[in-house]
Structure 1
Amino acid sequence: SNAIFISDVIKNYYLNTYSFKSFTTIYDTVEYDSAIDHPRKFMEDGICRLLIAGFISEGKGQRDAIEATKILHQKFKIELTVCGQGNEEYVNSLIPEQAKNYIFYKGYQNNLAPYRQNSDIALVCSRMEALGRVTIESMYYENLVIGADSGCTPFLIKDHETGFLYRSGDPSDLAKKIEFAIQNNDLIDEIKAKAKNYSIKEFARDISSQILNVYQDSLINK
């Protein structure tokens, strides 16, 4: 049999269990809104604004983001916005009362554009991302992306080139990577530019011809 996988991490998972006559990876396209810009300069107001967006659950890593923010709040002006639907009781239990003036839970947001435009860093803390759409969208909309070194994320982020990777499940390591970005903000514009170019080149293309080619090859070699 032949297979098309939507990410390398899914490919690796299935290849450990099944055998295929042929296989290839074709990432899904991501649709961008070219009307959305990102006018904010990195920490332009002296505050490092973090964003984590996605379904609320233990596996999505909101705890990493919240704990790292609490660590950094002792040294820097920093804020974290958490967006997503899911277990609200869980995420609220992670935010102590004294941290609610710099960690904000906004629930589900149909339109993330205003949050992306007002953020410096997008955190992708999921332990097992299958595709990494949030990573790619964050790159395109010019948020610096810091992601966990697990799942699909390390296939998408080249560490110190298109973003930063931290040890999954380790808030202190995440805090170190955020602190590095804060203290080396002269490097950030170049990293964001490379990431945006990557997101356009690899994920804003028409994949129908690639899929058709795979289908035709499978018929020829049947």
Structure 2
Amino acid sequence: MINIGLISHASRLHGAERMLLNLALLLLETEKFSVKIFMPEMDDSGLYSECKKYGIEAESIPFNIWYIFFDRANENEFKQRKELIRIRTKEFDKIIRNNNIDIFINNTLTNIIPYMSIIKFNIPIITWVHGILDGFVVPNGDLDFRLLLDRVCMSLSSSVICNSIWTEKYFHEYSKNMTVIYNWTNEPKNIDNVDKENIFVCLNSLHHLKGIYKLINACKILKNRGYSFKLLLYGNDLSDMIEQLKEEIEKSDLSENVILKGVTSNIESVYNNSSILVQPSYIESFGMTIIEAMSYGNAVISSRSGGPEEIINHNVDGLLVDRFSPEDLAEKMMYLLDNKDEAIRMGREGRKSYVNKFSSKVASSKFIDVITKTHNSFSGYTNEQMIIYDMLKYIF
């Protein structure tokens, strides 16, 4: 039995945290691993609530501001954050001493503390990279320093897992032990095959990088062309743009077409009550909602934004559009409205793609292989890694 510690950078339940939960469930099913999730700010919502629901052991860890927001130009702030890292690292040391963990899997490139602490105890770390937080995504902070710490974290990792080839290509020069394992979603319990005509759905955080306004502009085109349709827009507001979005919908005479639904955890209801998923993001390292929709046999339309090109085979199991063109998006939406048989065919092909590439069964064997090989081959940190670690301690 290998004891696995899964480290979450947050206690909410967004994409990366949901995948960490999925991994815990997947590993426990094998009965080859014991699993414990470590997360900051444990309360009765989000990730911790799901842990209690499924009987997954969890423990609270100290929270620290993610290094992606560090700015060395602000000397006083940087000094305070370095001191906080020292304090939090000592707290993390105590947690490690009280747990018998064989391997840690650190979820996302955001937090330096796990590396500062775990290496002291000569325990291997696997880093799970869910995307790219470059200057386009997070323009604030010290971009060069952020990339340096990304490189440090991966250099100190025994293995690095990327969620797509697109993500791996961005980081490939920083680690020789990189493996691509696509995200997965569990098999739906109920699939409703009743026709849901002209109902689009989009599940995204309401952030400008998610292409929401582009989607609204595409809907304007459909409305002006006389199409009857509904767009169910699910998501939480991370950028104070919800009121602006409501105003834009009303100003565009789309109040009866575009329905803001808020946050949901009931994806079964979402996909069983819609026919076509639209993913309009400008940048997407994978595309979790795409494989979810495919698992329910729904047609999908997505921007060419990185990861989705690895999921969708254009014109076979979905449609890809120019990520900057609302006109192209509108054309593809109208195409599927005009060609219902094509939408049904693509949904069926998408369902096949899900089973063959994005099911838990496919991911399970790959994760087990990486974890087992890491556990069996680890004989301590190399001299080069310890030099990097000593430099990290010098910085902080």
What TM-score results when the alignment is normalised by the length of structure 2?
0.51
Say yes or no: does 1:82 pair with 2:246: no
Separation in structure 2 between the aligned mates of residue 157 and residue 208 of structure 1, nearest angstrom? 22
Query: Larger radius of gyration, structure 1 or 2?
Result: 2
Q: Which residue does 2:207 correspond to in 1?
A: 57
RMSD (Å), alpha carbons = 2.1
Specify the code of the residue in structure 2 equivalent to 1:210.
K
Q: Which residue does 1:177 correspond to in 2?
A: 332
Aligned length: 215
Cα drift, residue 119 of structure 1:
1.4
Separation in structure 1 between the aligned mates of residue 193 and residue 373 of structure 2, nearest angstrom? 46
Separation in structure 2 between the aligned mates of residue 193 and residue 175 of structure 1, nearest angstrom? 22
Does the 8 A contact of 1:69 with 1:79 survive in 2?
A: no
Mapping of residues 1-222 of structure 1, within 5 Å: 2-15=159-172, 18-34=173-189, 36-41=190-195, 43=197, 48-74=198-224, 75-86=226-237, 87=240, 88-97=242-251, 98-206=253-361, 207-215=363-371
Does the 8 A contact of 2:298 with 2:344 survive in 1?
A: no
- Does 1 or 2 have the higher relative contact order (CA < 8 Å, sep 6+)? 1
Separation in structure 1 between the aligned mates of residue 196 and residue 352 of structure 2, nearest angstrom? 18
Cα drift, residue 132 of structure 1:
1.2
State the identity as a percent: 24
Q: Which has the higher helix share?
A: 2
Specify the code of the residue in structure 2 equivalent to 1:62.
I
Separation in structure 2 between the aligned mates of residue 162 and residue 63 of structure 1, nearest angstrom? 25
Unaligned stretches of 5+ in structure 1? none
Separation in structure 2 between the aligned mates of residue 134 and residue 167 of structure 1, nearest angstrom? 18
Q: Which runs of 4+ in 1 moved over 4 A?
A: 215-222
Specify the code of the residue in structure 2 equivalent to 1:190.
R
Cα drift, residue 186 of structure 1:
2.1
Secondary structure of residue in 1 paired with 2:220? helix
Q: Which residue does 2:131 correspond to in 1?
A: none
What TM-score results when the alignment is normalised by the length of structure 1?
0.87
Cα drift, residue 90 of structure 1:
3.6
Question: What does the per-residue CA deviation read over 1:57-116, in whole Å, with 9 as the maximum and x for residues that have no partner?
Answer: 101111122111111112211111111111422422331242201111111123233332
The range that moved more, 167-176 or 207-216, is: 207-216
Does the 8 A contact of 1:42 with 1:185 survive in 2?
A: no
Secondary structure of residue in 2 paired with 1:174? helix
Specify the code of the residue in structure 2 equivalent to 1:14.
F
Cα drift, residue 216 of structure 1:
5.1
